[in-house]
Structures are given as C-alpha cells and as structure tokens.
Amino acid sequence: MLGPRDDRPALPSSPMSLVIENGWPRTAEWTGGELRLGGIGVRDLAAEFGTPAYVLDEEEFLARCALWRDALPDGEVHYGGKAFLCPQVVRWLDAAGLCLDVCTGGELAVAMAGGMDPARVVFHGNNKSVAELRRAVAWGVGCVVVDSFTEIERLAALAAEAGTRQRVMIRVTPGVTAHTHEFIATGGDDSKFGFSLNAGLAAEAVRRVLAEDSLELAGLHSHIGSQITDLGGFALAAGRMAAFLTACEDEHGVTIPKLDLGGGLGIVHRPGDPVPPSPAEVVAALRAAVPSRVRLAVEPGRSIAGPTAVALYEVGTVKDIPGVRTYVSVDGGMSDNPRPAMYGAAYTAVLASRASDAPERPVTVVGRHCESGDVLVRDLPMPADVRPGDLLAIPASGAYQRSMASNYNHVTRPPVVAVRDGAARVIVRRETEEDLLRLYV
Ligand SMILES: Cc1ncc(COP(=O)(O)O)c(C=O)c1O
C-alpha cells in the first residue's frame, strides 16, 4: 500500500530543521492500518468533524515557514496567501516572522482580520479595483505591486489624494517559461500579468513610476509560475531581473533596493514525483544571480501550505464496470479540489481508516458532482475490498484546494481542522446550507 509509513525517513532531532519531501506532513503515521495526523486517528477526526475535511498539521506549517525564513535571513519571505489563507494562518505567519502577499481585497480583509501589520503586506493583482487600491493606501499596505500603466496612474492619483507616498514594486514578465502547466506559468511574454521585459514595457513602467511624486519605487518583481521543481527557470529569471534592475539604476541614477522573485517552488504529490530543491537551494540559486547590495524577497505559497494538509473523504459507493473500470465515489470532489479537472493535477489517495490484506486493483476515485470530469485520482491501486464507509486520505492537499473550493451543485465547503500534539481544532468551519441560503433574496 502507498503511504507515509513506507517512505518516511527518520525524523531529525530538531523537528523544525528538516521538511520531509514525500507529500505527507511530518506527524503522519500508521497505527494498525489507521492513519494518524498530529497524534489523532482519522476515524476520530471524521467522527468529530465529519467528511470531507481538510486536516492541517500545525507543526508542519510552522516548520515550513521557519525553513523559508532561515533560508533568507537578510531578506523578506512573503507567504503567497492565495495558496490557503484564514486568520489562523495569518497568526502563524506573524509568529514565524513572515510577511504576506495578497491579491484581492478579500485576502487583504482576511490579513487584517488575522491581525497582520499592513506594512508587512504586499498587494498583487492584474486588475485591482479602484476601491481596493484606495483601501490599500488608506490602510497603509507596505507595498503595491503595479501591474499595468492604468494602475500606475490610478494608484498615483489615489496616493496623491490621500497625501501619502505609496511604495510600489513593478511586476515584470522576464520572458521565462517555467516547466509547468500552461495555466500556472506566468513569466513568459504572452501573460496577462505584469510588464514584458522583452517588449520594452517594463522599462517604460519604471519611467512612469519614477515620474510620479506620490509613488516610491521600492523594487522590481517577477513570478514565473507554480509547481516548479528545477532551479533553471528561477536562476534564469533572477539573472534577467538583476540585469534589468542594474540597467534601470544606471539609466535613471536611482537605487532600486529590492528584487522580489515570487513563489513557484513545487511539492511532491505522489510517490515517484520529482523531489523539488529545498528553499535554501532556491535562495542560493537566486542569490548567485543577484548583486549582494539588492535585498531579496520571495513569495512561497504551495511549498509552505501544500504538504501541511491531508484531504479526508468517506467512500459512498463503489461501482464495478466489468472489463472497464471501478469507480470509487467520495463525498467531496471538484468543488473542494478543482485542480485535477483544471490542470490535470495528479494525486494519490490511500485507504486511511483500516488495514486490508486484499490484493490491490486499479480504481478511479471520483467526486459527487454532476460532471464526468469530476475525477480526483485516476487508475489508483487500492485494496479490492474498499467499501462504503471507508475513509480515503489524499496528501499534499494544503494549497490551492480549500482556497479554490466552490459551491458547485450547492455543496457546502469543507472545514479545515488543525491538529497538533493530540489536539484538534477547527480553524475554518464547515459551511452550512444556511450559509448558502443566506445569499438568496
Ligand atoms: C505573484 C505570486 N506570488 C506568489 C505566488 C505563490 O506561488 P506558489 O504557490 O507556486 O509558491 C503566486 C501564485 O500564483 C503568485 O501569483
């Protein structure tokens, strides 16, 4: 059977010093065939909190924050809030000394609800509204990443109106295509994000920002994509961005103090997936390409949140179509994890609630939605006696799942339950049908 028991290396003496790159949180263990997370068995978790549920290992989250912070002690680590955000996450980031990247007014509101100092917030987005920009200026957001000429004008006017000087970074697309899915590659010339370096738009953006008295150019920014598992793209983008920064400084006689090279580091989802470089290796590759006088910033999202959570589902039906396929239907699906349907993202799942000696056979794990594409895991070896009432666990479910969850088919979105040292607490409660009905007039 695939599972954390088989491929977990021994824990180091300091649990904070190493992140185990096998997709499972560090406290995952098996007892008598049952998966335990944070010292609690999944049967107890399911009985208390219901399914589907996202179970998040608090120790793993904090360890991953610490790993990035320690990799860049003289720079800035902005957690990419789009991966997964709630007020408790904001409090963990604060405790770990991380900053936060948000990309909508909603994410900014969560940051504030969690008590984040607005000065430690970076505000992204290719189409921020005037209202969102006004709020960012009024609340004293540390840095706005400008993404279009229209936005430079808008923000300059809003900052002038507020009688303040807003710090900005300019988002640059450095012409680097990361080896990842087309929809999550953002650094090539044909991108809705930022200003193209190759087309000369980035140089023009620098000119326009410098011409605005109400804007302060705090740095340049690039983000080339997500789920990247090799260093080549990071190093290439860093080199191009560093050369551009130096050229701008020379041309305009200014200092541009910071280079923010975004997020994008991938994670392991399944046994056999490429093991990504460590945060320290990523930072070393970036640092090697950037002059030491320039402050480095990074924005990891998935590589912090991804391996911290396990999605827990209950099997509802098992349908054998002789000679064709066996479908195992669970009580969640594309509404809580749209990534397989959107990007063809590949996951594994394991029988988590009991031991089984039954031989394995391939099954396809599907959700409960009215779409044939509502597939969570295709052709997965699973004990042949898998049956209704069993619990399945999908590791590496902490990023871009609960944060992308929808109410498709009017299902209610699952809770996030944090576990640590044998205790569990809800940090995002399960939505109810009352929540859904409240919207209708
Ligand atoms: C600007 C920016 N920064 C950071 C991130 C986080 O990326 P990841 O979760 O791949 O680390 C993203 C993700 O799309 C992004 O768009």
- Please tell me the residue having the least CA distance from ligand 1 atom 16: 223
The response to whether residue 264 sits with its C-beta less than 6 Å from ligand 1 reads yes
The response to whether residue 223 sits with its C-beta less than 6 Å from ligand 1 reads yes
Q: Domain 29-57+307-437 falls in which CATH fold?
A: Lyase, Ornithine Decarboxylase; Chain A, domain 1 (2.40.37)
Cβ–Cβ under 8 Å, residues 23 and 60? no
- Name the stretches of the chain with pLDDT < 70: 1-20, 178-187
The response to whether residue 80 sits with its C-beta less than 6 Å from ligand 1 reads yes
The response to whether residue 82 sits with its C-beta less than 6 Å from ligand 1 reads yes
Whether residue 370 lies in the annotated active site: yes
What does the pLDDT read at residue 137?
98
Cα–ligand 1 centroid distance for 129 (angstroms): 20
For the chain, domain boundaries: 29-57+307-437, 58-306
Cα–ligand 1 centroid distance for 250 (angstroms): 30
The response to whether residue 266 sits with its C-beta less than 6 Å from ligand 1 reads no
User: Pocket of ligand 1, candidates 184, 223, 269: which has the most ligand atoms within 8 Å of its Cβ, to mutate?
Assistant: 223
Cα–ligand 1 centroid distance for 101 (angstroms): 9
What does the pLDDT read at residue 17?
39
Task: Name the CATH architecture for the domain at 58-306.
Answer: Alpha-Beta Barrel (3.20)
- Of 65, 99, 143, 370, the active-site residue reads 370
* Chain Cα centroid distance, residue 385: 35
The response to whether residue 147 sits with its C-beta less than 6 Å from ligand 1 reads no
CA 179 to each of CA 67, 174, 190, 278, 304: distance values in angstroms, whole numbers, following the listed order? 24, 15, 15, 17, 20
What does the pLDDT read at residue 20?
61
Instruction: Write the pLDDT tens digit of every residue in 249-274.
Output: 999 999 999 999 999 999 999 989 99
User: Pocket of ligand 1, candidates 72, 76, 82, 170: which has the most ligand atoms within 8 Å of its Cβ, to mutate?
Assistant: 82
What does the pLDDT read at residue 190?
85
Cα–ligand 1 centroid distance for 222 (angstroms): 10
The response to whether residue 78 sits with its C-beta less than 6 Å from ligand 1 reads no
The response to whether residue 303 sits with its C-beta less than 6 Å from ligand 1 reads yes
Cα–ligand 1 centroid distance for 111 (angstroms): 17
Cβ–Cβ under 8 Å, residues 234 and 282? yes
What does the pLDDT read at residue 14?
35
What does the pLDDT read at residue 181?
52
Residue of 161, 123, 159, 128 lying closest to 144 (CA atoms): 123
Q: Supply the pTM of this predicted model.
A: 0.94
Instruction: Write the pLDDT tens digit of every residue in 26-62.
Output: 999 999 999 999 999 999 999 999 999 999 999 999 9
Cα–ligand 1 centroid distance for 84 (angstroms): 11
The response to whether residue 302 sits with its C-beta less than 6 Å from ligand 1 reads yes
Atom of ligand 1 nearest to the CA of 227: 10
What does the pLDDT read at residue 176?
86
